[in-house]
Chains A and B, each alone.
Chain A
């Protein structure tokens, strides 16, 4: 079962950096602030860790104790070679998002640059299967654009990563970031960080927060949609990472119906929101709800297309989805699309022989 190879473009793999790995790539005074002034990123989720090894698969922690995802050789052995990946898109675990940097965007921007250099040198340039994400501190718009200009042309950078956090990215002030991405043939990847899902706060339990993450994804799509980002940047695509996908039909129906009533407020939309979603928005599958084949087929019918879903494992995190077990059985053509072709058609910089 596990050795049966399937074509796979894995759209969410988290390689991990430790500060010590990127110190030599960090400009001063930021290196000094970490090395001598003991700055550490303060992130706190007020919950028990979700699983046996925190937020990671317990068997992905390295035998010598280093954190899961921090060693390419181990990742090759446990994931890329074992499953037989054709390509994998790295989405990292670095988090220069607004809420986790508490306003210090100078440090966030410096970390993002050092991180991008480290990612290129240690992963993208070494394993030909791996493609990367440009990290930016998007809360500092100008610094973000500069960083996109600096590394966006790297042949293996396929998207700019924006956090799902406390900024709504449809806000026109941030549109120049999309302009820069589009110019470099980069898509936008959005991955949640620690988004507020409960009236701006944490709910009481992790299970409540984790259940409601898709609502934060829906808010970002809605913001980008009605602020006209997709009309303004027709070559831009948005990959929603790790929010699941069963909410897609609801959002399409809801936005279409609202648009018919309220078009006067957002007259710049020239296409139906559901049409825009079909053309420019994609979704990674993990964490996949456990659907029967019938439920899965019916969901695709409700979406009106089988081109929006792109398989992802989320390796090495605790809620990893196995390519062999997470989705119901499907015929070869559909599998080919969801596990490989949809992602290849979405990312212009990913090799696509078809």
Chain B
């Protein structure tokens, strides 16, 4: 099993994200507003943009009906810095427009102040 400390919990405020490395892999560590940590590959599955340059925000969801917006998931959506595709952090990094596709993710655990990625 491979594991590695990628940052301190205090490095990321809830609702924010940062890039780090896990071995040779560029990774993206996200902290959702509820304080939880998640980690993904820091490369968009569409054309490879660096996701840390995008934003964490909410989204109008699939519950919207024509002319009626349902907005939620505040701080739980990664929006890519290039073409703006949206990925749901809390739903395994799945793309909102095509949930069959997801950003590869890493397991995370917290030990004291340390954010640890492991495989």
Interface residues of A (CB under 8 A from B): 1-2, 50-53, 57-59, 318-322, 324-326
Q: Are A320 and B82 in touch, CB under 8 angstroms?
A: yes
Q: Are A325 and B54 in touch, CB under 8 angstroms?
A: no
Interchain CA distance A324-B47 in the complex, whole Å: 8
Q: How many residues of B contact A (CB 8 A)?
A: 14
Query: What B residues does A50 contact at CB under 8 A?
Result: 84
Let me know if B55 is at the binding interface, CB within 8 A. yes
Give, as a whole number of angstroms, the nearest-CB distance from B66 to chain A. Answer: 11
Q: Which secondary structure characterizes the binding site on chain B? A: loop
Query: What A residues does B49 contact at CB under 8 A?
Result: 57, 59
Q: Are B81 and A52 in touch, CB under 8 angstroms?
A: yes
Q: Are B81 and A2 in touch, CB under 8 angstroms?
A: no
Query: What A residues does B83 contact at CB under 8 A?
Result: 51, 318-320
Q: Are A52 and B54 in touch, CB under 8 angstroms?
A: yes
Q: Are B84 and A51 in touch, CB under 8 angstroms?
A: yes
Q: Are A59 and B47 in touch, CB under 8 angstroms?
A: no
Chain B: CB-nearest residue to A204: B67
Let me know if B53 is at the binding interface, CB within 8 A. yes
Query: What A residues does B48 contact at CB under 8 A?
Result: 1-2, 322, 324-325
Q: Are B82 and A57 in touch, CB under 8 angstroms?
A: yes
Question: Can you list 15 contacts pairing A with B, beta carbon distance less than 8 Å?
Answer: A57-B49, A57-B81, A57-B82, A58-B53, A59-B49, A59-B53, A59-B82, A319-B82, A320-B83, A321-B47, A322-B47, A322-B48, A324-B47, A325-B46, A325-B47
Query: What B residues does A1 contact at CB under 8 A?
Result: 48
Interchain CA distance A77-B36 in the complex, whole Å: 36
Q: Knowing A52-B55, A58-B53 touch, does A326 contact B47 (C-beta < 8 A)?
A: yes
Query: What B residues does A324 contact at CB under 8 A?
Result: 47-48
Query: What A residues does B46 contact at CB under 8 A?
Result: 325
**Chain B, 30-89, CB within 8 A of any chain A CB:** 46-50, 53-55, 79-84
Most-contacted residue by chain B among A1, A52, A322, A325 (CB, 10 A): A52
Interchain CA distance A136-B53 in the complex, whole Å: 36
Chain B: CB-nearest residue to A288: B47
Query: What B residues does A320 contact at CB under 8 A?
Result: 47, 82-83
Give, as a whole number of angstroms, the nearest-CB distance from B80 to chain A. Answer: 7
Give, as a whole number of angstroms, the nearest-CB distance from A239 to chain B. Answer: 23
Contact residue among B47, B50, B81 (Cβ-Cβ distance under 8 Å from A53): B81
Q: Are B81 and A58 in touch, CB under 8 angstroms?
A: yes
Query: What A residues does B54 contact at CB under 8 A?
Result: 52, 58
Give, as a whole number of angstroms, the nearest-CB distance from A45 to chain B. Answer: 15
Chain B: CB-nearest residue to A59: B53
Interchain CA distance A52-B53 in the complex, whole Å: 9
The 5 closest A-B pairs by CB, nearest first: A58-B81, A51-B84, A59-B53, A325-B47, A322-B47
Query: What B residues does A325 contact at CB under 8 A?
Result: 46-48
Interchain CA distance A1-B79 in the complex, whole Å: 23
Give, as a whole number of angstroms, the nearest-CB distance from B64 to chain A. Answer: 13
Q: Are A51 and B47 in touch, CB under 8 angstroms?
A: no
Chain A: CB-nearest residue to B84: A51
Interchain CA distance A306-B83 in the complex, whole Å: 27
Give, as a whole number of angstroms, the nearest-CB distance from B44 to chain A. Answer: 10
Give, as a whole number of angstroms, the nearest-CB distance from A52 to chain B. Answer: 5
Chain B: CB-nearest residue to A317: B82
Query: What B residues does A51 contact at CB under 8 A?
Result: 79-84
Q: Are B47 and A318 in touch, CB under 8 angstroms?
A: no
Query: What B residues does A58 contact at CB under 8 A?
Result: 53-55, 81-82
Contact residue among A59, A318, A319 (Cβ-Cβ distance under 8 Å from B50): A59
Beyond known contacts A58-B55, A59-B49: 9 more, CB 8 A cutoff: A2-B48, A50-B84, A51-B84, A52-B53, A59-B82, A321-B47, A322-B48, A325-B48, A326-B47
Chain B: CB-nearest residue to A287: B83
Interchain CA distance A318-B82 in the complex, whole Å: 5
Interchain CA distance A196-B50 in the complex, whole Å: 34
Give, as a whole number of angstroms, the nearest-CB distance from A31 to chain B. Answer: 36
Give, as a whole number of angstroms, the nearest-CB distance from B62 to chain A. Answer: 16
